[in-house]
């Protein structure tokens, strides 16, 4: 969810900037560290950022002052965690605000908090639980991608409800926003989750070094190569 320019009072804009900025700065520090220590990861980080940019640019009109779209944050959340996802989202949101008139500069902090921090945070915590339970790749990626998307719109509904309460009730306003968002966001979240499953399935087969230790990949029976027969040496 992107909140458009001018739909938040200045003090709420400052509030969300204050919450988001420390996480974003820490994320940039992490990106710099990965670039320095693991330069081979630069391409994957770029692909993760591209997912966020492309999917979150697919804007569908929604309730006044916002829009519905996939978020694309699941890949970076699974591979690099919340802080780096917030930084990649921050970069994407700046480009979208300046080049696509999508979101806004004054609402940058609010949009990054919902799309780059809260959605990925909930998804990452659930991912850690699924990893401990040794849940396999497909359900793990599907659940994480779905939650990263759906929790973004839940957070955006909270942000708008705080500013535009219904008859003085923030909860009533939140329910209204949730009901409107659900029409478009639930199907979008499911489609995005399926796309992420396909991507990580491909990644696990072509670059197992990247997914190793992050996802439980169950091998099919009969896929392990047979050990070579011992050589017979003639005497």
Separation CA 31–CA 233 (nearest Å): 54
- The reported pLDDT for the residue numbered 183 is 76
pLDDT on residue 231: 43
Number of structural domains found in the chain: 1
At 67, which CATH number?
1.10.1760.20
The contacts of residue 128 (CB under 8 Å, 6+ apart) are: none
Asked whether residue 232 is domain-assigned, the answer is no
Please tell me the predicted confidence (pLDDT) of residue 117: 97
- Do the domain assignments include residue 231? no
Task: Please give the residue that has the higher pLDDT: either 227 or 4.
Answer: 4
CA 170 to chain centre: 26
Q: Does residue 224 form part of some domain?
A: no
pLDDT digits (tens, 9 = 90+) for 58-110: 876 555 445 578 899 999 999 999 999 999 999 999 999 998 878 889 999 99
Average pLDDT along the chain: 87
Cα within 13 Å of Cα(66), Cβ side? 30
> Is residue 79 one of the residues assigned to a domain?
yes
Q: Decide if 117 is inside a domain.
A: yes
Q: Are 137 and 201 in contact (CB under 8 A)?
A: yes
Q: From CA 185, how far away is CA 145, in angstroms rounded?
A: 13
- The answer to whether residue 140 is domain-embedded is yes
Please state whether 6 falls in left (phi above 0), alpha (psi between -120 and 50) or beta.
left
Distance (Å) of CA 122 to CA 35, 77, 95, 116, 143: 26, 10, 25, 11, 11
Give dist(CA 51, CA 45) in Å, integer.
10
Instruction: Name the band, by pLDDT with cuts 50, 70 and 90, for residue 4.
Output: confident
- Residue 136 belongs to some domain of the structure: yes
For 175-208, how does the pLDDT look when each residue is reduced to its tens digit (9 = 90+)? Answer: 988 887 777 788 889 999 999 999 999 988 888 8
**b/e map 50-64, b = 16+ CB within 10 Å:** ebbbebbbebeebbe
Domain that holds residue 40: 2-211
* Residue 179 burial by Cβ neighbours in a 10 Å radius (0-12, 13-18, 19+): exposed
pTM given for the model:
0.86
**Which tokens in the block code for residue 172?**
């009533």
Residue 234 has a pLDDT of 45
Looking at the DSSP bridge assignments, the partners of residue 60 are: 68
What tokens appear for 149 in the block? 């998307």
Task: For residue 124, tell me if it sits in a domain.
Answer: yes
């Amino acid at each position: 969810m992107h909140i458009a320019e001018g739909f938040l009072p200045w003090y709420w804009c400052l509030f969300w900037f204050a919450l988001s900025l420390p996480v974003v700065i820490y994320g940039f520090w992490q990106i710099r560290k990965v670039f320095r220590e693991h330069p081979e990861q630069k391409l994957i980080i770029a692909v993760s950022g591209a997912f966020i940019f492309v999917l979150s640019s697919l804007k569908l009109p929604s309730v006044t002052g916002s829009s519905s779209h996939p978020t694309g944050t699941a890949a970076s959340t699974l591979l690099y965690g919340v802080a780096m996802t917030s930084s990649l989202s921050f970069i994407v949101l700046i480009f979208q605000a300046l080049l696509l008139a999508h979101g806004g500069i004054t609402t940058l902090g609010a949009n990054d908090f919902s799309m780059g921090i809260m959605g990925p945070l909930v998804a990452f915590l659930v991912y850690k639980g699924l990893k401990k339970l040794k849940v396999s790749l497909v359900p793990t990626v599907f659940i994480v991608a779905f939650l990263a998307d759906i929790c973004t719109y839940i957070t955006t509904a909270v942000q708008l409800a705080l500013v535009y309460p219904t008859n003085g009730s923030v909860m009533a306003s939140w329910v209204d926003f949730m009901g409107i968002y659900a029409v478009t966001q639930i199907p979008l979240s499911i489609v995005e989750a399926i796309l992420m499953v396909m991507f990580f399935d491909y990644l696990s087969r072509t670059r197992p070094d990247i997914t190793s230790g992050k996802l439980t990949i169950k091998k099919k029976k009969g896929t392990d190569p047979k050990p070579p027969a011992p050589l017979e040496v003639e005497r």
